[in-house]
Amino acid sequence: MALHRWWREADDVARVTLYTRCSMFPLAAVGPFVVGSIPASRAGEITGPVRTTLVAVVLAVSVVVLYVLDRLVTGHSLRRRDYWVWGGAVLAGALIVSLAPIGNARGPGLVLIAAFGLAPLGGWGARYYVPVGAVVAVAIALQSDARHDGPGLMFEVAFFVLAVLVAVASAVQLSLWLVNVVRRLADADRTRAELAVAEERLRFARDLHDIVGRDLSAIAMTSDLAAELARRGRPEAAERAEEARNIAQESLRQVRAAVRGYRAVDLRTELEGSAALLRSAGVTSRISAEVATLPDDVRTAAAWVVREGVTNVVRHSAATLCRIEVREQDGNVRVRIENDGASGPLGHGSGLAGLAERLRPLGGELTFEQRDGVFVLCADLPANAVVEEARV
């Protein structure tokens, strides 16, 4: 149950990483199984203790190499100690197999150790493992009994060993490539989500600049004119001062309207934008909304709830599913946003506090809770709520 919940809440990077690691770990049993299953008729001088030693050597090398591969899959850089352990284990295993009296079992043992030892080079590409594999293949061919049967058989052995080594390293290269591609896609999705949030903030900043910048310039010019007229004792100075006051009042009204969301904040548009934002962040959205019959003030307030709620989902959770519902029932309108992937203590950020203040003039109430990794944000509004414009 816990694994199922983890799988449901994990992102694609974690899932692909787990799949790759689980597909690698069983390889530790391949080497010992192959060595242990060599028939006695082919093993020559191999005895029980020597066979056990050979199995242990191959197992030790495979475990060390799988540890190195695991660090590569999980995105950790190799330390100097990792290189020494990796190279030392492979070299020691190759020497033991080369010097041990194991007859025909020497060839399979060396091939297995070479395949495990060469596998991590797949993380750096074919330009590394193909030349190294060619050298190792020739060395194994020289160690085998084929050298007594002529160069033709030695070439065949070297070619076969090289094919095995390249195939193993290529498989590792493809696995690491897949993990890295998924990781880059996840980073790109997060970047797109952050850019969408930043773009929304820039849009709001441009709106404020258009209002405040224009009106402040008009106030400054009108005030200068009023001051000049006052110095000359002209009666028009009072009219200019009154004009500056009216501009300031209108600018303040527009700023309040922008902050409260009364300037072109449409619920339907906000729902469509939220779906696009969630999709770019890799979050599946389920949206069910009744927007046609709601009053303008309620639609606008609901749009702000959706905007703030979805922004929190993208920025503060590892959600994979987000449900948004807007319903009118028994004279009330409820906006409910639920997402999984919530973690950490439940916070009381300025965004939710500002949203609660925005709903208060409408008689609305904002509640939120977090339970078992699920965060639920609810806003309840009277269906006939109307906000009166503030006067200056």
C-alpha–C-alpha distance, residues 158 and 161, integer Å? 5
Tell me the fold of 265-392.
Answer: Heat Shock Protein 90 (3.30.565)
Q: Which of helix, strand or coil describes residue 11?
A: coil
Report which DSSP code applies to 170: H
C-alpha–C-alpha distance, residues 372 and 350, integer Å? 24
The pLDDT assigned to 345 comes to 65
Calculate ∠ Cα 311-350-337, nearest 5°: 40
pLDDT digits (tens, 9 = 90+) for 191-223: 887 787 777 777 777 777 777 776 777 788 888
Domain ranges of the chain: 11-186, 265-392
Work out the percent of the chain whose per-residue pLDDT is above 70: 83
Mean per-residue pLDDT for 352-374? 83
pLDDT digits (tens, 9 = 90+) for 342-353: 776 665 555 677
C-alpha–C-alpha distance, residues 202 and 194, integer Å? 12
Q: How far is residue 168 from each of residues 111, 114, 116, 117, 127, measured CA to CA in Å? A: 11, 10, 8, 10, 15
Position 41 pLDDT exceeds 70: no
Least confident of 28-32, 37-41, 88-92, 136-140: 37-41
The pLDDT assigned to 84 comes to 93
Q: What share of the chain is helix, strand, coil (3-state, %, to 5)?
A: 70, 10, 20
- Phi and psi dihedrals of 100, rounded to 5? -75, 145
- H or E stretch at 390: none
Radius of gyration from C-alpha coordinates of the chain: 35
Residue found by looking up tokens 């192959």 in the block? 34
Q: Which of helix, strand or coil describes residue 191?
A: helix
